Structure 1
Amino acid sequence: MLANLFKPTPLLDNATKDWILDTFAWALSEFDLNVFKQDSQLILPIYEFYPGKVNSIEEMAQSVFEHTLKYAGMQHWPIKLVSPNKYQPTAMAKLSFKDGMRGAQSQVINTDYSEQNNSEILVSYNPSQINQPQDLVASFAQAFAAILIAQRGVSPPGGEEFMPQAMDLLACFMGFGVMFANTAYQFKGGCGSCYNKYANRQVALPEQEMIYCLALFSTLKSIPAKQVTTHLKSHLRSDFKKAMKELQGELKQNSNLALISAKLT
């Protein structure tokens, strides 16, 4: 009884942790394990990852779009950025792939071309996010994750009901977990003019769930905790360290072959 009083409370309940582990394994199985192991990196909100000077909203959006698409391993996909006033939702052409869906070696083949349904996949942006670049990056990563899942044609663990959460997790799997964790919650207090709800991205996985996903990515990629916590909001750092510690035990007990394969070097 007394021992339980001093036992640390887990960051997440067992069902949530199991879903994250199962869904990460799903991502590893469906979306190019070798790209994850060899190419995926932790994308940070610093100049090294998003360099260059821009002179307009459009240039800023295009620059962030191109870098994010490259880090997602989808730089060869026929995905085009259009301004919000020119964006019109269209049916997505079905693509085929040679040498995987993602990565520098991947080749995209359009198998569903017609005048009404060409190969270009259009993505737009929220101009209000230009002053909140982490939200802009996360929104693009969400869009790319949605496109990736649609082209693969597979549902995540839990089925269609969990698709929004799976998109957030898949974006973390591609390396964008720091920015997803930092933008999962937006403080509404303080000066009213400082808060713009229209600039915030759509959130499916809350802070602690996203922190656990980020810790899983970092553990599988052998990324030191300090390399991550330096770029997290201060109130997230202790939860991240806690998640990393918990995962050391979780992964030792987990028998999922995809997770085991991801950890092998």
Structure 2
Amino acid sequence: MLSNLFKTSPLLDNATKNWILDTFSWALREFDLNVFKQDSQLILPIHEFYPGKVNSIEEMAQSVFEHTLKYAGMQHWPIKLVRPDNYQQSPMAKLSFTDGMRGSQSQIVNSDYSENNNATILVSYNPSQINQPQDLVASFAQAFASILVAQRGVLPPGGEEFVPQAVDLLACFMGFGVMFANTAYQFKGGCGSCYNKYANREVALPEQEMLYCLALFTTLKEIPAKQVATHLKSHLRSDFKKAMKEIKSDLQQPNNSALLIDQI
């Protein structure tokens, strides 16, 4: 029929949408609903969120690290930034908390390394990302989300296989969805000097999946869509608008409204 010519295909298939909705619900249950409701904000790639002047790569990395850790609600965690040449991966101490894992009320009350005072969790950075600050922010947020998942010890829907995707979704849940969407795909064409594959972050959720996550965050936090779209790369804006329309429809389904809206 002619009417079929004017139908637009959905942004994602139903199985992917359902996984995102289920995993966002998992994040709401496991990673401090009250912090999401009261403190989480949309973190944007503008001076308001990352102010200050720096004089070196190390100062830049430290400034972005500290701001991102604060926006993640993990500023009280014993997480330390180290230079890449000083970074050594080691087993992570298991931490115990009161009043949730994130937010200003949370406190660490115990560590399985407390007897030798070695509970510090080390994080490093990619110097190639200094000139791509959105990638740097997203990489730090990805690291913090990964630490949260490891410390919580509760697997996302789909189990161990889906942890990398859940980490990206959790970073969006903490407010970093714009920068994750903007850095999910890197154009490789054009001037060779403009593209540096070593500066790109590792991507588990592609652009369209991340845009759906971002639309869900935007809807639950009641943020005007225009405020979000303005800060997205131009080629993402139409799909983001489509995602916003689909989210409104998807959340009207009885199973999804019970899954998410009742928790908010």
TM-score scaled by length of structure 2: 0.97
* 1:5 Cα deviation from its structure 2 partner: 3.1
Amino acid at match of 1:188: K
Q: Which runs of 5+ in 1 are unaligned?
A: none
1:112-151 map, 5 Å: 112-113=112-113, 118-151=118-151
Give yes or no for contact 1:93–1:110 (8 Å, CA) kept in 2.
no
Q: Aligned letter for 2:80?
A: K
2:262 corresponds in structure 1 to 261
Instruction: Give deviations 1:141-177, integer Å, cap 9, x for gaps.
Output: 0000000000000111000001110000000000000
What is the aligned partner in structure 2 of residue 161 from structure 1? 161
- Structure 1 residue aligned with 2:172: 172
The one-character-per-residue Cα deviations of 1:192-242 (angstroms, maximum 9, x if unpaired) are 111100000000000000000000000000111100010000000010011
CA distance in 1, matches of 2:136, 2:259: 31
User: What is the deviation of 1:2?
Assistant: 4.0
Contact 1:29 1:258 in 2 (8 A): no
Residues 66-117 of structure 1, C-alpha deviations (whole Å, 9 max, x = no match): 0000000001000000000000001000000000000010001232015778
Identity percentage over the alignment?
84
Q: Structure 1 CA distance, aligned partners of 2:215 and 2:254?
A: 16
What do residues 17-53 of structure 1 show as CA deviations (whole Å, max 9, x unaligned)?
A: 0000000000001000110011000000000000001
Q: What secondary structure sits across from 2:252 in the alignment?
A: helix
The alignment status of 1:55 with 2:55, answered yes or no, reads yes
Asked if 2 retains the 8 angstrom alpha-carbon contact of 1:95 and 1:110, the reply is yes
Query: What is the letter of the counterpart of residue 148 of structure 1?
Result: L
- Mapped partners of 1:11, 1:104: distance in 2: 37
Q: Match for 1:193: what amino acid?
A: S
Alignment of 1:29-40 (within 5 A): 29-40=29-40
Q: Which amino acid aligns with 1:259?
A: L
Specify the SS of the correspondent of 1:108: strand
CA–CA distance in structure 2, aligned partners of residues 5 and 117 of structure 1: 66
Secondary structure, counterpart of 1:157 in structure 2:
coil
Mapping of residues 19-98 of structure 1, within 5 Å: 19-98=19-98
Contact 1:37 1:262 in 2 (8 A): no
The offset of 1:258, in angstroms, is 4.7
Alignment size in residue pairs: 263
Name the CA distance, whole Å, in 1 between partners of 2:188 and 2:117: 42
